[in-house]
Structure 1
Amino acid sequence: MEKPLILVTNDDGITAPGLRMLISIMKKIGDVVVVAPDSPQSGMGHAITLDTALFSKKMKIDLDQDAIDEYSCSGTPADCVKLALQEILPKKPDICVSGINHGSNSSINVIYSGTMSAAVEAGIEGIPAIGFSLCDYSWNADFSQAQGFIHTIVSEALENGIPKGTVLNVNIPKLTKEELRGIKICRQAKANWKEKFDKRTNPMGKDYYWLTGEFELLDKGEDTDEWALANGYISVVPTQFDLTAHHVIQELNTWDF
């Protein structure tokens, strides 16, 4: 049987260890093409490049015998997916996987995530898509413990399909393989960041700012991604990109416009 065509991307850049791990897992499932940013693009959300040119370069990073096609892109994660679909891939991919991100994209973090925005961009085009993140921001993070789980999730998505208008947001706790308790299907926890800016002054007397903050979990539910991660489970949240608050439409229709 013909192998599935898998588009692999991320937001940490084409050389990121998490991406290299995801590529190695996907090569066991299908034919892989990589289109990823040429530099880190964390926190870019769904930004796209409009006022500057995009550049792409074919790369040779994995030099093993079954080397795959890899392309760097000067734009954002969403740009990478757009460019892959329109210019690089020979046909529509069977699935798009994004990650493995260095750091959590659970709860409210999904709004800011370049990793998930790449998956959402694929989803908008009708392609099954999954974003993977590990709750460890270290560049040298150990991704090996989740290999089997990632393989299973992608295989199940290919076999069963992902409902239209939905992408999967998968977060993996920073645990050993023995400590991981399995997979939980969850909802996004209600949480936010209590942010502030650290104001400083440079040697030239100009003020500058560093964004800082603390994560606030406002949700005590045991069916959330944050609960799953805190209790040793990989969280899988079906995420939709239709942002309409459907439950509010009826109320708004009572307003006197």
Structure 2
Amino acid sequence: MKKKPIILVTNDDGIRAPGIRALIQTMNSLGDVYVVAPNKPQSGIGHAITMDTILYCDSIKIDHGVQKEWKCSGTPVDCVKLAISQILPKKPDICVSGINHGSNSSINIMYSGTISAVIEAGIEGIPSVGFSLLDFDWNADFEPSKEYVHQIVKKILQNPIPKKIISLNVNIPKLKKKQIKGIKICRQAEAKWKENFDHRYDPKGRSYYWLLGDFVNFDKKLDTDEWALKNGYISVVPIKFDLTDYTLLNILRSWNFILFISFCIRKIII
């Protein structure tokens, strides 16, 4: 009998979040599931790791049928690191993160604990995918997502992601199942948050700040994740951790060459 793949499941909304429970249920039909997730919400934590405090990782049982679960006091990246080096019997065949409550499309990926978890898995050479539903409600309906999550993970298990691609970032629009038009392979839209801080005072008169902001999409092309989501498609964006700007790299190399020539000319003149 063929061995079941080992699937590591994590998230950033916390181990009790409805999104991760829906993801676990879906993964149970595909492999041997191990869950290592934060013991509390860690949204917006990015790729943070715990270095100055103790990490706790305790076995827990939340749902029937899921025997291998651990709640971790650290970040989503901590969860992946601990799972790989200390908890799992061997390296997982895939790491899945989510289903996140809210969007991780476009620039949101930079702040996301959901996606940082799968990037960390990718650094270790593990195929990985992060799932997000564009609904921040704790009681969001994850049922329409399950079929597509199953389909994408099954495809990855059958067709391993190339080593140069770290992970897939999958975002699912907040729509009924019959309203979802399908899956689009996209690039990340060029966008940002236009942010400001609301300056307030607490009852004792102490000054504090509350972060506010509006999402601004500068990218109007039809091949982006933002376009896909707004038009009823699930967006799939391949991502990697190499942040080198190769266009600028070539420009800077030409600067070095020019500076070197200038230096040589000055030497000759002197």
Smaller-chain TM-score bracket: over 0.9
Return the structure number with greater helix share: 2
Asked if 1:209 corresponds to 2:200, the answer is no
**Superposition map of 1:177-196 within 5 A:** 177-196=177-196
- Counterpart of 1:211, as a letter, is L
Deviation at 1:164, TM superposition (A): 1.3
**Any unmatched runs of 5+ in structure 2?**
261-270
Q: Which residue of 1 aligns with 2:18?
A: 17
Deviations 1:103-138 (A, max 9, x none): 000000000000000000000000000000000000
Flag the structure with larger Rg: 2
Deviation at 1:244, TM superposition (A): 1.0
Deviation at 1:67, TM superposition (A): 2.7
In the alignment, the residues of structure 1 paired with residue 184 and residue 173 of structure 2 have an alpha-carbon distance, to the nearest angstrom, of 12
Larger mean Cα displacement after TM superposition, 133-142 or 237-246: 237-246
In the alignment, the residues of structure 1 paired with residue 252 and residue 223 of structure 2 have an alpha-carbon distance, to the nearest angstrom, of 30
In the alignment, the residues of structure 1 paired with residue 145 and residue 61 of structure 2 have an alpha-carbon distance, to the nearest angstrom, of 26
Q: Which residue of 2 aligns with 1:122?
A: 121
- Counterpart of 1:203, as a letter, is P
TM-score normalised by structure 1 residue count: 0.98
Q: Which residue of 1 aligns with 2:28?
A: 27
- Counterpart of 2:228, as a letter, is A
Q: Which residue of 1 aligns with 2:73?
A: 74
Q: Which residue of 1 aligns with 2:268?
A: none
Q: Which residue of 2 aligns with 1:94?
A: 93
Deviation at 1:246, TM superposition (A): 1.6
In the alignment, the residues of structure 1 paired with residue 70 and residue 86 of structure 2 have an alpha-carbon distance, to the nearest angstrom, of 11
RMSD: 0.8
* Number of equivalences: 255
Poorly superposed stretches of 4+, deviation over 2 Å = 254-257
Q: Which residue of 2 aligns with 1:159?
A: 158
Asked if 1:146 corresponds to 2:145, the answer is yes
Q: Which residue of 2 aligns with 1:112?
A: 111
In the alignment, the residues of structure 2 paired with residue 70 and residue 52 of structure 1 have an alpha-carbon distance, to the nearest angstrom, of 22
**Any unmatched runs of 5+ in structure 1?**
none
Deviations 1:26-68 (A, max 9, x none): 0000000000000000000000001111011100101x2x332
Q: Secondary structure at the match of 1:51?
A: coil
Deviation at 1:146, TM superposition (A): 1.3
In the alignment, the residues of structure 2 paired with residue 68 and residue 232 of structure 1 have an alpha-carbon distance, to the nearest angstrom, of 36
Q: Which residue of 2 aligns with 1:240?
A: 240
Identical positions, percent: 64
**Superposition map of 1:163-174 within 5 A:** 163-165=162-164, 166-174=166-174
